[in-house]
Homo-oligomer: A and B are copies of this chain.
């Protein structure tokens, strides 16, 4: 596989356009043995027709048997080894709510929890308080001030919040304070590396102040913090691939991930229609477009097989809009599978359609679906290999060696 240094050497600019269209959690499994998957049960005349002119295959996001989160799933699609390039949980949580991290920030994921009078945890999720309560408590915690740092705290959902320390030379090398079981006190923050002493002290002071504010609460009377991390400083698309890239996504998490690899992120998109109009409007300005569709994953997580299939049908209706732009390379894939019968992300390889203007090889066509993708021209491949293939078919790769 090509690493990013090799890609930096081999890629060049060209007057070609690539669209990476990600249907989140696209892959599925049948409801009953031998039955169709969500994608196979959906009526997708446009994707089926396009499949007849494309190469099909199955993308392995991380490795066989490995279920990816959104971060690694997308990094792999962007061509970044997701096992090498790690994004901390605090950073991901901040990205997920659209918090704009600077390089001076250390982010942590926070949980409200319940402790007894001996400060021993009785409920690690504070009885799963509703989001409204979370917002109310977070607003109270905004009163906390510490010398030398700026503090940001934002509600996420239910008992979860994001906490960001901003200041010069802050270290994220701290332990999680959640002991991962009840009947134990929350853990003290300790420095896990030289240079993290000051940050550990500030974290402990923030926690003490938070406890003071929360102590009268019945459920959410304490906090745990974990996943301390900084913006990971990933190589950027411009230098790595010689691509001007734009992200057209609705959800903050995916905009945040795209920003991490140096894509320009267009804000203010709310629907697929918004995304399609933006794609057309910005067609001349960029070489690469990452378009993200969330609801296939959402309905898979809900366990609603038919609703997921219906989302795929909505997308299918939009396929001609992409093709009208005459992309040199148009990829339809997912960051992972989210089979409705699993109600969760899964490790199953993801059906992938790879269309290029340049001639490729292909099999007899059986439409676009998991079974159709087996043994097709792309075979099973690692998600990380999609970018090199996209760049090659778009005429953007030099030869390796003489």
Chain A contacts to B: CB under 8 angstroms = 1-3, 6, 10, 29-30, 33-34, 37, 53, 58, 62-73, 82-83, 86-87, 89, 92-93, 339, 341, 345-348, 359-363, 370-371, 374-377, 379-381, 385-393, 397-402
Q: Are A69 and B375 in contact (CB under 8 A)?
A: no
Q: A68-B401, A345-B399 are in contact. List 5 more A-B contacts (CB 8 A).
A: A69-B400, A71-B402, A347-B389, A347-B392, A375-B376
Query: Measured between alpha carbons, how far is A30 from B401 in the docked complex, in Å?
Result: 26
Cβ of A402 and Cβ of B70 under 8 Å apart?
A: yes
Chain B residues whose CB sits within 8 angstroms of the CB of A374 once the complex forms: 361, 363, 375-377, 379
Residue contact B58 to A379, C-beta cutoff 8 Å: yes
CB nearest to A72 among chain B residues: B401
In the bound complex, CA of A398 to CA of B347 (Å): 10
Contacts of A392 in B (CB 8 A): 64-67, 346-347
In the complex the two chains form, is B361's CB within 8 Å of A29's CB? yes
What is the CA–CA distance of A37 and B65 in the complex, to the nearest angstrom? 30
Q: Which of B65, B362, B397, B402 contacts A65 (CB 8 A)?
A: B397
With A66-B400, A72-B400, A388-B64 in contact, is A362–B2 under 8 Å at CB? Answer: no
Docked-complex contact A63 and B385, CB < 8 angstroms: yes
Query: Which residues from chain B contact A389 at a C-beta distance below 8 Å?
Result: 64-65, 347
Q: Is the CB of A67 within 8 A of B361?
A: no
Q: Tell me, in angstroms, the Cα distance from A401 to B85 when the chains sit together.
A: 11
From B360, B399, B402, contact of A92 by CB (8 A): B402
Given A71-B401, A341-B359, A374-B379 in contact, is the A66-B29 Cβ separation under 8 Å?
Answer: no
Give the docked Cα–Cα distance between A363 and B89 (Å).
38
Q: Distance (Å) between the CB of A372 and the closest chain B CB?
A: 11
Asked if A67 and B359 sit within 8 Å, CB to CB, the answer is no
C-alpha spacing A345/B397, complex, angstroms: 12
